[in-house]
Amino acid sequence: MGIYIEDVIKIATEEIGYHEKASNYDLDSKTGNSGNNNYTKYSRDLWEADPHYYQGPKQGYDWCTVFYDWTLYQASGKDSKYAQSIKYYTGPYGAGCSFAAGYYKAAGAWYKDPKPGDQIFFGSGDSFRHTGLVEKVDDSKVYTIEGNSENQVRRRSYSLKDTSILGYGRPKYDGDKRPDDFPFVDVKKNSWYYDAVKWAYDSGITAGTDSVHFSPDKACTRAEVVQMLYSMNKYLEDNYSKK
């Protein structure tokens, strides 16, 4: 088990362009049923998590913090307790910016200097209004990936001197980079199928459903089966046909 910054940023990057929905329909489509009523797959997934991520369902509410929490949840291999713990949650009230910032502050994990993986908070005075994920930082700017930015997931950038930035929360990640080159966060080392999946990945037979998920509980599509059979055939030709 572990949550690594590189995984969280990869997961967030793949969500860029996702539009919030007009209703509780077509939630998994990036652009289908686009609207401005704050329905998202992120709120759905965190409510369906075991245990629930928050004290109640968050469909129809602002979802900037929900999106950030969802990236941690996905990077944990959908272990909601562990994902909550690295943000210092001590209660179920985490979907609002002010609650999330409060957990960091209480844990001594509130900073004025950003690092990749941090949760950036915007507002004025003591009022928090928006949040996002820090993707990278240079000498003059902080670059972010944000949910609920003009009703979608977007990349943004800000001057480090921007007065609307109130601070940065820093989760207790397990590290910057995964310690091995096996990318799937949802295939645990104690899983009975771990060795088989790792062999298939190392052999080029499968690349998973995205850059960090193998989705072991998901049924394969016909296209995925065809691709794996093709890759398996190529593997056999390259490794055995000439011997």
Q: Domain residue spans in the chain?
A: 5-169, 194-240
d(CA 95, CA 114): 21
Strands (E), the chain: 110-111, 119-124, 127-137, 141-149, 152-159, 165-169
What local confidence, expressed as pLDDT, does residue 227 receive? 84
As given in the structure block, the two tokens for residue 193 are: 């199928």
What local confidence, expressed as pLDDT, does residue 192 receive? 85
What local confidence, expressed as pLDDT, does residue 117 receive? 98
Phi and psi at residue 29, to the nearest 5°: -80, 140
**One pLDDT digit (tens) per residue for the chain, 243 residues:** 689 999 999 999 999 999 999 999 999 999 999 999 999 999 999 999 999 999 999 999 999 999 999 999 999 989 999 999 999 998 888 899 999 999 999 999 999 999 999 999 999 998 999 999 999 999 999 999 999 999 999 999 999 999 999 999 999 999 998 877 777 777 777 778 778 877 887 788 888 888 787 888 888 888 888 888 878 787 777 787 665
d(CA 225, CA 40): 29
Q: Which CATH architecture has domain 5-169?
A: Alpha-Beta Complex (3.90)
CA 12 from centroid of its chain's CA atoms: 5
Is pTM, for the whole model, over 0.85?
no
Of 38, 27, 11, 8, the residue nearest 149 (C-alpha): 38
158 SS3 class: strand
